[in-house]
Amino acid sequence: MSKYDQLKDACYKANMKLPELGLVLYTFGNVSAADQEKGVFAIKPSGVPYEELSVQDMVVLDFDNNIIEGEMRPSSDTKTHSLLYRNWKGISGISHTHSTYAVAWAQAQKDIPIMGTTHADHLAIDIPCTPVMSDEMIKGDYEHETGNQILNYFESHRLNYQEVEMVLISNHGPFTWGNSPDKAVYNSAVLEELAKMAYLSLQINPDTAPLKKALIQKHFERKHGKDAYYGQK
């Protein structure tokens, strides 16, 4: 028994949802689960197919990327996860996929426009896409700088990471997060579906207009905030 068994179990179960939801192929993607009080997180090992994963394969690290428990090399995206955990104390799960439609928008270097109420149910703005990473950042500590891409974008655009729980990294793909690893995976699935809906809408009508502000406000506020009435109490 390990004091990190519960954290590793949550991480493993969240990772296994990615192939179940059709969000990854082979060894693509990763999910991490954090304990902010202890300053540690568990993450999928690098390059291991999902069907071969076990709970014990999850690697536990501190927020400075020191391995605390685990025999395998952690995900190559580990430094991106740790940087977000260090800076955003309100999150306990991060998910990264290479899902088709989300990656397509990232490769096109475009925000995903808010055109319908399904999008507005989850966030009240376009899903942001970061600028292309500079050569200096690419040649430096790449995965750490990927985290900086996210942090810098949110700071410069004055975005609240607890209201906007998803982003596209230009030319790369989506990162999502939440107050649990399950919520991070949920946001990955939502992001992929919104990316698909936006793409199909623009195929049907390239001149599709953005969703009107009144509908954005209604749909976002009925699920979020003090006057929300969606779901059960």
pLDDT in tens, 74-131: 999 999 999 999 999 999 999 999 999 999 999 999 999 999 999 999 999 999 999 9
Q: List the structure tokens of 166.
A: 């998803």
Q: Does residue 233 fall inside a structural domain?
A: no
Going by the DSSP 8-state scheme, the letter that residue 115 receives in this structure is -
- Asked if residue 228 is part of any domain, the answer here is no
Q: Which of 9, 62, 121, 126 is catalytic?
A: 121
CB 120 within 8 A of CB 220: yes
Residue ranges with strand state E in 121-219: 166-169, 173-178
pLDDT above 90 coverage of the chain, percent = 93
- Is 121 catalytic? The answer is yes
CATH number, domain of 160, equals 3.40.225.10
**Which token pair is 22?**
């059709």
Sheet holding 59-62, edge to edge: 67-69, 59-62, 40-43, 30-35, 93-96, 173-178, 166-169
Structural domain includes residue 229: no
Q: In sequence order, what are the residues at sequence separation of 6 or more whose Cβ sits closer than 8 angstroms to the Cβ of residue 93? A: 14, 31, 32, 33, 34, 177, 178, 179, 180, 181, 182, 183, 184, 185
In a domain, 122, yes or no: yes
pLDDT band at 223 (very low <50, low <70, confident <90, very high): confident
**In this structure, how many other beta carbons lie within 10 angstroms of the beta carbon of residue 32?**
34
- Domain of 129 in residue numbering reads as 5-221
Q: Look at residue 227 and tell me whether its pLDDT is greater than 90.
A: no
Gap between the Cα atoms of 155 and 169, Å rounded? 15
Clarify whether 229 is annotated catalytic. Answer: no
Specify the pTM: 0.95
Domain count, the chain: 1
In a domain, residue 232? The reply is no
Say if 226 falls within a structural domain: no
Asked whether the predicted pLDDT for residue 225 surpasses 80, the reply is: no
Q: How confident is the model at residue 218 (pLDDT cuts 50, 70, 90)?
A: very high
